[in-house]
Each structure stands twice: as C-alpha cells, then as structure tokens.
Amino acid sequence: MDSALFVHRLHFAFTATFHYLFPQLTMGLALLIVVLKTIGLRRNDPVYHEAARFWGKIFGINFVLGVVTGIPMEFQFGTNWSIFSRFAGGVIGQTLAMEGMFAFFLESAFLGLFLYGEKRLSPKAHWLSAVAVFVGSWLSGYFIIATDAFMQHPVGYFKAADGSLQLASFWDFVLNPWAGWQYAHNMSGAAITGAFIMTSVGAFYLLSGKWTTHARIFVKAGVIAGCVFSVLQIFPTGDRQGKMVTDLQPVTLAAMEGLFQSQPGAPLVLVGQPNEEQGKIDNPIEVPKMLSMVTYRRWNANVRGLDAFPKTNWPGNIPLLYYSYHIMVGLGTFFVAVMVIALLLLWRGWLFEAKWMLWILMLAAPFPYIANTAGWMTAELGRQPWLVYGLMRTEDGYSKAVSAGNGMFTLLGFMGIYMVLGILGLFLLRREIEHGPVTGPAPEAR
C-alpha cells in the first residue's frame, strides 16, 4: 500500500476511534440525565437532583474530551482528505456546516447553564437546559450519520461539469434511507454505553456499601434503559441495518459474514477464522441456513458470496472486517442476556442483594465501548475500497500535497496528546467516582 495513503487512513482511523469513545457516553448520559432530572422535577425529590448533578460532572469531563477530540475530525476532512473534500464537499458540506449551526451552538450554550447555572435558573429552566444539551448532542449525531450515510449510499447529488459532486435534492440527501436506520442503531448503541456506565458505578457503590440510596437509582435506571436499548439494538435497528447492507452493499455482507462461495441455504458463521488464501472459514461453528434466513427471510435463499464479485471491489481488510462484525454481534447478544437477567432480578426485588450480578454489571462497563467501536469499524471497513460508495475510491481521496512524513509527524503528535488525555480523563473520572454523588458527611453505612 502507498505509504502516504496508509498514514492518512491510520490518521483518520486513530483519531476517529479515540474521539468516539467520548460522544457515545455523552449522548447516552444526556438521555439518562434528562430522565433523572424529569423524575426529580415531578416527584420533587432532591436525591434525583443530586444524582443528576453527579452524572452532570462526569458528563462535563467526558464532554470536554469529546469536544477537543472532535474538533480535529472536522479539520481532517480538509487537512488529510482534501481531494475527497473537493469532490464531495458540495454535498456533505451541508450536513457538516449544519452540525455547527444547529447542534454545537445549542450544546455549548446550554451546557454552561446546565453545569454552572443551577442556582441562577428556576428548576424548570434548569431541566430545560438539560433537555437542550440532550437535543444538541443527539442532533449532532444525526448530522454525522447523514454525512456517513452519503459515503455509504450516495443519494440526492449530481455530478457537475468539473467532476465534483453537487447537491441535487436537499431532502433526498438529508433523509437518506441509510441514515435513518444507521442513526437508530448508533444512538441505541450510545444509550447502551450510558446505561452500562451508570449501572456499573451504581453496582460499584452497592458492592462497597457507599451511597446506597443513589446507587440504587443508578442501577435501576441503568438496567431498565440498558434492557430496552440492548433489545432495540438487535431488533429492529440491527436487523434493518443488516438488510440494507444485504441490498446495497452485498459484497460487504459476504465479507462480514465470511461467506466465500455463493450458495443457497447459506449458513451463519458464529465462530471461526476467515482463511482468505483458501477461501474458507477455519474451525467453523455455524448455524445451517441461518444466513439465508436473516438476509432474505427464506431458508433456501441464494446468498452471494465473495466469489460473485470482482476482487478489486472486495473490502481491503476482510479478516478485520469479519472480526469487527462478529465481536459487535457477540457483545450485543451478551448485553441482552445480562440486562434481561438483571431486569428480572430487579423486578423480583433481588437485584440489590445479588452480589454476583452486581459484580457482572460492574465489570461489564468496558464492553459497550468495544462493541460500538467494532460496529463503526464494521461500517467503515465494509465501505472499502470506496470512500464514497461506487463514486470515489479511498486511494484517490487523500491529500496528495501532504507527504507521508508530515502525516506521520502529526499522527505521532496526536497519539502522544491523546495518551495524556486518556490518562487524565480516567484519573479525573476515578476522582469523581471516589468523591461520590453527595459532598459532606461520610457515606451511609451499609
């Protein structure tokens, strides 16, 4: 691979992956904070307001990290992918500019009020500022998904005389059918991260016998939200997303599923290692005919394998794509199992005493991050070798003016700074968790 191309791809992949660790929690927590504030307002219960304030602090740290790692994303379209920006900017510039105008202004203006203005505002106005932050962060998500959806499935454009893409229909572009399901799937994923983190902190407090009143609220809210969104993540959002890939990116489906040969009644591979050299899966554990069923809803439907497509159009890194997809699906299934059991225990009133389950909930915190990251890797590796599906190849889109050496310089710089950010962020989160939801007297006894 051309070394400049590789550096620019790694540059975007690294900064995007690191960045998305933060917005997923921002968007998930924003929703849960609104829930806490709403309950607090309706029941006039100070404990819920304290809970919201505590998560507001964690939200604040996380938000800052999301913002500072997000600014480089917008810049990188121009710095590292200028040929692509010139090619597609007439279309995707719309959503990227709208994100700034509609989402960022809203978020940034009301975050300050939410975090620092509680005493200056009436309870209702403070609740409203929490809602504004939630709306801003979820809008932001939509604009980014709509941009990505154009790269996955370009619609609403025409090719101008100079070869660039220009907007033909605003609504076709903004309401890209790909964007709808991808957005639902992605936001549900973010809500899962928020729910698991809230549950995890609650479980930690319960297991250590601290702040148990607050901890029960955290666990209860987290488990209910976690259960709802884990189920939504698979059905309908994941299912519909899979259907779209089947219809619009069939070669990606074949690579994700590790299906080398086209066949009727194709099996679904649960575990196994793709062996590209021999065109098969090593050590497969499969469910017969299942892939035909989930893709075409018929047991004997013919599913096109990689052999049905020219090799030049195969996604570049099939093993990584295959593993990303399988890790995502495997973890998604695990989330449903954990959260359904936890919800049953909660419903029976046993959850707060069930130490084994609290341990599982506490330790499960990192997995939504892995699943969300793997999901994005599936989407973007699956789009390869295209930068804009069917219109521009990835190798044609990077900044030819920026040499591999200059790209490497900034990549290493970002790695260094992000390492510091990561360590600082974890350190601050630990402090806030240690500090607990209420200041003042010692934590409640067991």
Partner 1 sequence: MASLWFCIVAVMVATYVVLDGFDLGAGAIYLIAAKTNDERRRVLRSIGPVWDGNEVWLLAAGGVLYFAFPQLYASSFSGFYLPLTIVLWLLILRAIGIEFRTHIEGPVWQDFFDTIFSVSSILLAVFFGAALGNVVRGVPLDATGYFFEPLWTDFKLGEQTGILDWYTVLIGVVALVTLTAHGSYYVALKTDEDLGRRARGLALLCWPVQFFLTCVSLVATYFIRPEIMANYGKHTVGVLVPIVVFASLAVMLWANPKGKEKLAFVASSLYVTFMLVGAAFALYPVVLPARDHRYDLTIYNTAAGSHGLSVGLVWWTLGAALATTYFTFVYRKFRGKVGLGEGHY
Interface residue list for partner 1 (CB under 8 A): 60-61, 64, 67-69, 71-72, 74-75, 77-80, 82-83, 85-86, 88-91, 93-94, 96-102, 104-106, 108-113, 115-117, 119-121, 160, 164, 166-168, 170, 399-403, 406, 409-410, 413-414, 417, 421, 424, 428, 431-432
Kindly tell me which of 69 and 188 has the beta carbon lying closer to partner 1: 69
How many distinct helices (H) and strands (E) make up the chain?
15, 8
Give least dist CB 6 to partner 1, A: 17
Give least dist CB 14 to partner 1, A: 14
Kindly tell me which of 104 and 218 has the beta carbon lying closer to partner 1: 104
State the pairing for strand pair 157-159/392-393: unpaired
Give least dist CB 317 to partner 1, A: 26
Kindly tell me which of 38 and 410 has the beta carbon lying closer to partner 1: 410
User: What is the distance between the alpha carbons of residues 294 and 243, in angstroms, rounded to a whole number?
Assistant: 8
**Residue 284 three-state SS:** strand
DSSP string over 320-344 = HHHHHHHHHHHHHHHHHHHHHHHHH
Q: How far is CA 304 from the centre of its chain?
A: 29
Kindly tell me which of 354 and 391 has the beta carbon lying closer to partner 1: 391
Residue type, 379: A
Where is 267: in which H helix or E strand? Answer: none
Nearest to 25 by CA among 149, 199, 150, 178: 199
Give least dist CB 321 to partner 1, A: 29
Give least dist CB 167 to partner 1, A: 4
Kindly tell me which of 80 and 182 has the beta carbon lying closer to partner 1: 80
Give least dist CB 244 to partner 1, A: 26
Residues 6+ apart with CB under 8 A from 113: 120, 121, 126, 129
Largest CA distance in the chain: 74
Helices marked H in 278-436 — which ranges?
Answer: 290-296, 318-348, 355-363, 366-383, 404-435
Kindly tell me which of 261 and 410 has the beta carbon lying closer to partner 1: 410
Give least dist CB 65 to partner 1, A: 9
Query: How far are the Cα atoms of 133, 154, 383 from residue 128, in angstroms, in the given order?
Result: 9, 37, 39
Residue type, 416: G
Give least dist CB 190 to partner 1, A: 21
Kindly tell me which of 98 and 248 has the beta carbon lying closer to partner 1: 98
Do 336 and 228 form a contact (C-beta atoms < 8 A)? Answer: no
Kindly tell me which of 61 and 198 has the beta carbon lying closer to partner 1: 61
Residues 6+ apart with CB under 8 A from 94: 167, 170, 173, 174
Give least dist CB 417 to partner 1, A: 6
Where is 442: in which H helix or E strand? Answer: none
Give least dist CB 184 to partner 1, A: 23
Kindly tell me which of 163 and 441 has the beta carbon lying closer to partner 1: 163
Torsion of CA 340, 207, 225, 118, to 10 degrees: 170
Kindly tell me which of 298 and 430 has the beta carbon lying closer to partner 1: 430
